């Protein structure tokens, strides 16, 4: 590990993976596929299998997309690991989102390799409109993307000179 790099932030990836797999296990152990249990208005637990990508894109059982999305997630994770290794440990505004994305990607890759699909169970809705079901891994990736955008607009530290 490169001294002073942000790789120690990978503990956060580990937390995401454990929480993701634990909640998916709880969902599959307590719900039947397509069963929907109301939690409160606007949120149900609904067990779904996503054979595609985000928002159920290419959601067709048995297609080649299983390996396409697995490979894509692995490549992205490797790129982000390299980015983390080149990021200073103190740069948490970069490290946290990257670690969240790695954890989310690996959480879903585990499902794709093990099952051939991703387990989704969080169903957010308003009136009759339902957001596509998602899981903890998807949540980590989404939160990370928002952090990268928001924190990307921050000003450079005072001790850093601009070119």
pLDDT per position as a tens digit, 4-53 = 999 999 999 999 999 999 999 999 999 999 999 999 999 999 999 998 76
pLDDT of residue 154: 72
Distance, in Å, from the CA atom of 89 to the CA atom of 7, rounded to the nearest integer, reads 7
Q: Is the pLDDT confidence value at 64 over 80?
A: no
Choosing from 20, 111, 123, 138, the catalytic residue is 138
Q: What is the pLDDT of residue 35?
A: 93
Better pLDDT: 60 or 91:
91
Confidence of residue 155 (pLDDT cuts 50, 70, 90): low
C-alpha 128/C-alpha 63 separation (Å) is: 30
20 is catalytic: no
Q: How many C-beta atoms lie closer than 10 Å to residue 117's C-beta? A: 18
Lowest mean pLDDT among 11-15, 59-63, 102-106, 129-133: 59-63
3-state secondary structure 77-139: HHHHHHHHHHCECCCHHHHHHHHHHHHHHHHHHHHHHHHCCEEEEEEEEECCEECCCECHHHH
82-107 pLDDT, tens digit per residue, is: 999 999 999 999 999 999 999 999 99
- Residues 118/111, Cβ–Cβ less than 8 Å: yes
Give yes or no: 138 in active site.
yes
Confidence band of 61 (pLDDT split at 50, 70, 90)? low
Sequence-distant (≥ 6) Cβ neighbours of residue 16 within 8 angstroms:
99, 100, 103, 104, 107, 136, 137, 140
pLDDT at 163: 43
| Amino acid 112: pLDDT | 93
- The pLDDT assigned to 110 comes to 97
Q: Region 52-72: what's the mean pLDDT? A: 70
What are the structure tokens assigned to 39, written together?
């939690």
Give me 111's structure tokens. 């499902």
CA distance 76 to 4: 23
Measured CA distances, 64 to 57, 110, 117, 119 (Å) = 13, 17, 12, 18
- Say what the pTM is: 0.86
Given 20, 111, 120, 123, which residue is catalytic? 120
């Amino acid at each position: 590990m490169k001294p002073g790099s942000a790789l120690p932030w990978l503990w956060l990836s580990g937390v995401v993976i454990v929480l993701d797999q634990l909640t998916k296990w709880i969902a599959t152990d307590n719900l039947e596929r397509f069963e929907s249990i109301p939690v409160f208005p606007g949120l149900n637990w609904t067990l779904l299998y996503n054979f595609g990508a985000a928002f159920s894109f290419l959601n067709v059982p048995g297609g080649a997309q299983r390996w396409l999305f697995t490979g894509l997630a692995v490549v992205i994770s490797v790129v982000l690991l390299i980015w983390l290794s080149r990021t200073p440990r103190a740069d948490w505004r970069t490290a946290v989102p990257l670690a969240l994305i790695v954890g989310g990607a690996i959480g879903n890759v585990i499902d794709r390799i093990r099952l051939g699909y991703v387990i989704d169970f969080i169903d957010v809705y308003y009136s009759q409109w339902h957001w596509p079901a998602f899981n903890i891994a998807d949540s980590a990736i989404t939160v990370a993307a928002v952090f990268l955008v928001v924190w990307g607009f921050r000003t450079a530290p005072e001790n850093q000179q601009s070119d």
